[in-house]
Structure 1
Amino acid sequence: MLLAFLLSLPAGASTLRVHYDVGYGNRITVRGSAAPLSWTTGQNATWTSGNVWTYSWSNSAGDVDVKPLINDAQWSTGANYRVRAGTTVDVYPFFGAAQGTRTQFDNFWSPQLGNTRTLRFYLPPSYSENPLKRYPVLYMHDGQNLFDAATASYGVEWGVDETVNGLIGNGQMDEVIVVGIDHTGSNRIYEYTPCCDATYGGGGADLYERFILESVKPFVDANLRTLPGKANTALMGSSLGGLVSFYIGRRHSDVFSKVAGLSSSFWWNNQAMTVEVEQSTVKLPLRFYLDAGTNNDGLTETTRMRNALAADGYVQGSDLYYYVAQGAGHTESAWAARVYLPLTYLFPWQSTVY
């Protein structure tokens, strides 16, 4: 049936493919910004196997903004979808509230580090509503600080779940799975740092890297509906968590394509990581977000890293986002206030690669 339908399409067609099971007796319609679509009355999409609803129109309409509806009454949640002239776009909408869920796995064993910790998961709003959909994954360090004030350092959480819910609902961000990896208290400095700072020592980042690559990511990909390729996989952290994000991301651009560091500790070991970037002539296939506050937050070191990346060819607004947080210090509340910036930069609306 799908082959026959595709053969029936006019040459030069633009096509929307809506992946959603509406249930028996219901239908998907499409409204949009250019004829034959309109925003007042929907056009019926055609059901094909696998619960894919397809609607096509001539590419002479140009680029068109569209929105799927159930029974031409219930609009999908989030922003409109853009279909470029002559392209086929697959979308995986949901129609309920922009409200994700959280779960966790306690006592997750690390054979690389010889210890256990909690993994904390944010599952996006459509996870249970649209089982046809798979998701990008954001791996974040200091997991206990992300979602819950009761477990966060100094009782201040980042509010990542609430922030992501709001960004998805407003159509500013694609749905993602967030994996919060708890730190292990006194081992945090060791695990989050390459070797070795004259004052603080450290040096366990290689083992922590192996823990993520060999244990955490395989577990997540086996148990959740992920898009496991590098195009949809990102790292984020703050302070030493930002440092280790840059360290792992640069070493494994075959696994990660996006890295964010808030107030990253680039001072570590006489700014050895920045020196390495300055001496490199290779531009890795990564998108970087980095920031710092103006209140004793390592702005000088972060700016030096920005300059090193720019010298390698990274361009502000394209594959580099550098931000100065006026008046902000090195605190959980400061990171919570601006976490929306890396989230929308790394996962903007309709950026997921299916």
Structure 2
Amino acid sequence: MEIKRKYPWLVALMCVFAVLSIGLIKSPISIIPFESRASTTPVNISARNFIPVDMNKEFQAKKTRLIVIEDFQAIMLNNNRSLHVYLPPSYYDDKEKKFPVLYVHDGKSVFEVSDWSKESLNMHTQADKLISEGKIKEIIIVGIDNIGELRTSEYSHWDGVDMGEPVLGKGDLYEDFVINDVKPFIDKNFRTLADRDNTALMGASIGGLATFNIGFRHSEVFSKLAMLSPYLGWGDNKLYDMLSTGVYKDKKPLKIWIDVGSKEDSFVNMAANGVLLLMNNGYKYSDELVAYEAPDGEHSERFWAQRIESVLLFLFGNIGKPESMKLYVDNKIYLSDKAIKHINSVVTYDSGFIMTEVLANYSVEKPDLLKIAGFGGGLLPLAEGVTKITVKSSTGLTAQESITILK
């Protein structure tokens, strides 16, 4: 009480400091508008009635950051669909600022719940989090809807078979839609950095194949590609031939992300083949090309969502420095195994970025029991026993595991 009577200015200063301290220790994520599902209801508007965002008084007043543009026409495909647009936190604060753009196939599940899996990538919440932490640039994200029954056809640049039924590939027409309908509309109506260096494309499953084809055919439009569990083997593995001896053999100026879940069976091999061919064509691993095998990952949005932060860091941020490495490998393998087991060496960076190290050096304590060979650390059991394996990453990190070989 004596301090309060004699030094009221000191008490006031202490109160101000206390308030500021509370604000300083509060987690940055607490200020994110898109923390919860309750706050993510988008504003729907018809493409026919759309005017540039900077001229839309309602959007300006409400600072609308999730917009669904309905009945958007694909001219060459002669059909309509919706576009789903996310605007970054400062979009309405600086009327001169322009932003990079990430275009994503299967647009509804980018921010909302997919009709197919009832899951979502929740990219708006993840982008806001990374932006608030200063880890990535502010970006615009555009989700492009698929048309259910036409999805496989539109995402395929060549014919194939899906669920036993022949599919006529219309990927060239979908490609025209993305480049000549969607992108010009977005560039006209939003403040974008429209050059290739600031334009990225992303897709999952056969949407990953569409991303690969569109990106490689139009590297003058896109500089960054992200493919989640891509269906690279579609249509009798034609893509691999194109990478080996065909039109994709020549290296393009692209930054490429490829991932897959460890439980996705044949997709793991498809991803590994694609990564190996790209490296053979000159792409520098961990710089121009990154791969990630997600432990226990499956083939749906719920699992892809777990990789989105790393995707955004790779495409639009700074991945930081490698911090630790963990080995995911079966600790028991059998001489009778027909399928070759492999080591998944997962490196975590100080930014939270995660990738699989495919350039590691491998050594075996008892080489008469086990051999490590091939791309990605394939395990070849030679005799029964227990041995230790040591993996050293290209960044100098080291990890060890014990392996038991059984009959």
TM-score (norm 2): 0.61
The match for 2:104 is 140
The match for 2:80 is 116
Matches within 5 A, 1:1-354: 97-99=31-33, 101-149=65-113, 151-198=114-161, 199=164, 200-280=166-246, 281-297=249-265, 298-348=267-317
Structure 1: stretches of 5+ with no match in the other structure: 1-73, 80-95
Is this contact kept in 1: 2:101–2:199, CA < 8 A?
Answer: yes
Deviations 1:48-88 (CA, angstroms, capped at 9, x unpaired): xxxxxxxxxxxxxxxxxxxxxxxxxx99xx99xxxxxxxxx
Structure 2 residue matching 1:118: 3-state secondary structure: strand
Cα shift at 1:236: 0.2
Deviations 1:210-248 (CA, angstroms, capped at 9, x unpaired): 001110000000000000000000000100110000000
TM-score (norm 1): 0.70
Cα shift at 1:286: 0.5
**Distance of 2:264 and 2:178 partners within structure 1:** 31
Deviations 1:186-217 (CA, angstroms, capped at 9, x unpaired): 00011001111145423110000000111000
Aligned structure 1 segments of 4 or more residues deviating by more than 3 angstroms: 96-100
RMSD of the TM alignment (CA)? 2.1
Is this contact kept in 1: 2:117–2:300, CA < 8 A?
Answer: no
Cα shift at 1:99: 3.8
Structure 1 residue matching 2:142: 3-state secondary structure: strand
Cα shift at 1:339: 1.2
Structure 1 residue matching 2:111: 3-state secondary structure: coil
**Distance of 1:106 and 1:205 partners within structure 2:** 22
Q: Which amino acid aligns with 2:66?
A: R
Q: Return the structure number with greater relative CO, CA threshold 8 A, min gap 6.
A: 1
Is this contact kept in 1: 2:87–2:139, CA < 8 A?
Answer: yes
Q: Answer with 336-345 or 215-224: which moved more.
A: 336-345
Identity, % of aligned positions: 36
Structure 2: stretches of 5+ with no match in the other structure: 1-22, 35-64, 320-407
Structure 2 residue matching 1:146: 3-state secondary structure: helix
**Distance of 1:228 and 1:248 partners within structure 2:** 17
**Distance of 1:209 and 1:167 partners within structure 2:** 30
Is this contact kept in 1: 2:156–2:169, CA < 8 A?
Answer: yes
**Distance of 2:155 and 2:220 partners within structure 1:** 20
Q: Which has the higher helix share?
A: 2
